[in-house]
Structure 1
Amino acid sequence: MTDGTVRSHSQGMAADRVLAATGRSPDDWYERMDAVSGRTIGHAAIAAWLIEQGVEPWWAQGVTIGYEQARGLRIPGQRSDGSFAVSASRQVPGEREAVLDVIVPQCTAAFGFAPTSESRGGKRPSARWTFPDRESVLLNTEDGSRADTVRISVQRERLTGPERMSDAKAELQGLLAGLRQ
């Protein structure tokens, strides 16, 4: 398992919310997934099956991840491809692209090189830094939960194993704590 650096899906997605959004409890979905060979058909097939049952795609992904963790098919922080990822977020005053314009140079200084890609416009302007070992950092900005705020989310992806999660999470939290607007 993990050291608690990353919450399990059940800790982050309340059963009552799953029930309200999908019409069934997680345990009910998990029993149904077992009946359609969920333990062996893979993530994409499970999510597709849920969508066929009328579950919205976002919820289908969440229920699938919850199932995979509940059945021991993946641990918290593990992706369907076997790699690991951690994330952190912070809400700041401002507008999405203006915040990105301020943060990208700070991240560039911290990582020692410019982003390998940037996406402007849309609901989630972003930048990505890909390291020589193939790990990457994805920085997104999106409207915050309060007026005139931006939610900055940063994710370290393609970690090679769960032993990297604690250090990578601390690095992201430190990066966000040190950002200046």
Structure 2
Amino acid sequence: MTKQSSFKRRIRKRMSQTGERYVVARAALIAQAQAASTKKRKWVSMPETSDQAILEATGRSWNEWCDLLESWPGHTQGHAKIAKYVQAEYEIGAWWAQSVTVGFERITGLRLPGQMSDGTFTANKSKTVSLDESWLRKLLLDPSERQDLFPGHETELRSKPSSKTIRLAMDDGIVLIGMTPEKDGRLKIAIQHTKLANSEDAQRWKFYWGEWLDAISDTSS
């Protein structure tokens, strides 16, 4: 089922009720959704998908989705059940059902920025640097070298040496380090620090990884 199929059915239903042409009926539904979006609702945090994008994809604005889901008794039963309900009840594809669910959770405070469906938090940081991938990979795979790379922190390799992404257990959570060579010869380092207990830890580690990337970048100077 395409992402627009549910919206198109609503358009055709309005056409049958009002006798309007397709373009007129579509414009009327979009106008209704936009009017609903202007109603007062305090958003705890911003969804990743814009209001316009979710409106175009599903035919409903964020405020409309929030009103619909808050009226459903099962809206506090967790991410998986909400997403399943959205997909089945409103006949939209699985991808958009997930997007609607995450956005609803963020707007209403059921899920904070950086929070995963299991309740833990994730911090992400990346930077493109002038470093050799094989040199950095060698340091990350060597236990004694890692002590110098991450002073004051305990680390344990949790991935195979040949794995594209290096997985480390740290004293706080799990870290995934990906390295991608760029066309200009530089190296993009992407860090994802998962399984953190709360948003404060996520912010603290995000700052740490920003400082770490700056420091590792300076070694090439």
TM-score (norm 2): 0.57
Partner of 1:55: 93
Q: In 2, are the aligned partners of 1:106 and 1:179 still within 8 Å (CA)?
A: no
Judge conservation of contact 1:38–1:46 (CA < 8 Å) in 2: yes
Specify every segment of 5 or more residues in structure 1 that has no aligned partner in the other structure, as ranges.
1-7
Matched, 1:164 2:201: yes
In 2 relative to 1, CA 140–9 (structure 1 residues): closer, same or farther, beyond 3 Å? Answer: farther
Q: Over aligned residues, Cα RMSD in angstroms?
A: 3.6
| Counterpart for residue 4 of structure 1 | none
Separation (CA, whole Å) in 2 of partners of 1:14 and 1:76: 15
Describe the shift of the 1:31–1:165 C-alpha distance in structure 2 as closer, same or farther (beyond 3 A). Answer: same
C-alpha change, 1:173 and 1:38, in structure 2 (3 Å) is farther
Contact 2:156 2:170 in 1 (8 A): no
* Secondary structure of 1:74 counterpart: coil
> How far did residue 156 of structure 1 move?
1.2
Query: Deviation per CA, 1:2-36, whole angstroms, max 9, x where unpaired?
Result: xxxxxx442x4322222233343222222222233
Instruction: Show the 5 A alignment for 1:130-141.
Output: 130-133=169-172, 135-141=173-179
> Cα–Cα, structure 1 residues 9 and 38, in superposed 2: closer, same or farther, change >3 Å?
farther
Q: Which residue of 2 is the match for residue 127 of structure 1?
A: 166
Quote the residue 1:5 is aligned against.
none
Residue 64 to residue 90, structure 1, CA distance change in 2 (3 Å): farther
- Structure 1 residues 93 and 61: alpha-carbon distance in aligned structure 2, compared to 1, 3 A threshold: farther
- Greater C-alpha radius of gyration: 2
Structure number with higher strand proportion? 1
State the partner residue of 2:55: 19
**Count of residue pairs the alignment pairs up:** 164
1:78 to 1:51, Cα distance in 2 relative to 1, 3 A: same
Question: 1:93 Cα shift?
Answer: 8.6
1:140–1:118 distance in 2 versus 1, CA, 3 Å: farther
**Matched residue type, 2:103:** G
